[in-house]
Structure 1
Amino acid sequence: MDETPKEPGAPDLRFIKALVTVLTIVMIGGVLTVAAALVIRLRAPSMPLPAEISLPGGARATALTQGEEWYAVVTDADEILIFDRLTGEIRQRVAIETAP
């Protein structure tokens, strides 16, 4: 009789080994997908800002953010000025209120 001793729980170990292999492949695919998405997103061209932005009343800019059709400047006078990207005119003014 040629019987080799079987490890206890051998079918369970094969199943766990297969699960670990599948998980590894899925994780590698996920990391590659996230990396590719970051590269694509960061390489996308953004609209250039104007060379000069004139702020009313001698205000100084403390922060800047932009959207596709606008850009916003936060001033040292606690005000947000939203400009139209094409015309450069102020679309909206938002006063920043300080918390009590």
Structure 2
Amino acid sequence: MTDETPEDDAPPLPADLRFLKTLVTVLTAVMILGVITIVMLLVIRLNGAGAPVLVHPEVFEIPEGVEAVGYSVIDGYTVIIGDDGVIRVFASDTRRLMDELNLRD
């Protein structure tokens, strides 16, 4: 004979242990839902990053004979680097020249 009792003959759990078991089960379910939600939000955010901002240096007024070597968009400003060694900062929305920095001085 064995000393093990069948599951049907097991005494019921005390109230504190039943509460703890329920609490752990609920916590596990909430954590699983939280991880699923975070993964879904990351997938949505990374897939729907939107179209990149396209800026063409031709729409900004740079001096005649100066070619754009590089350009970038930073916080609402468009920065155009010319082959004359001058960095020009334009407001992206109004296309107005805000500042010029001469690198060859």
Contact persistence 2:57–2:80 (CA under 8 A)? no
Distance 1:95 1:12 in 2: 70
Contact persistence 1:72–1:81 (CA under 8 A)? yes
**Could you report, residue by residue, the CA deviation over 1:34-76 in whole angstroms, capped at 9, with x for unpaired residues?**
22122222x324233236x868xx8x95x6420586411468x
Residues 26, 87 of structure 1: alpha-carbon distance in 2 compared, 3 angstrom cutoff: closer
* Structure 2 residue aligned with 1:92: 99
Larger radius of gyration: 2
Structure 1 consecutive aligned stretches of length 4 or more whose deviation exceeds 6 Å: 86-89
* Structure 1 residue aligned with 2:48: 40
TM-score (norm 2): 0.52
- Structure 1: 5+ residue stretches without partners: none
Distance 1:38 1:45 in 2: 13
Identical pairs, percent: 16
Question: Aligned runs of 1:4-23 on 2, under 5 Å?
Answer: 4-7=10-13, 9-23=17-31
Give the total of aligned pairs.
92
TM-align CA RMSD: 4.1
* Structure 2 residue aligned with 1:65: 72
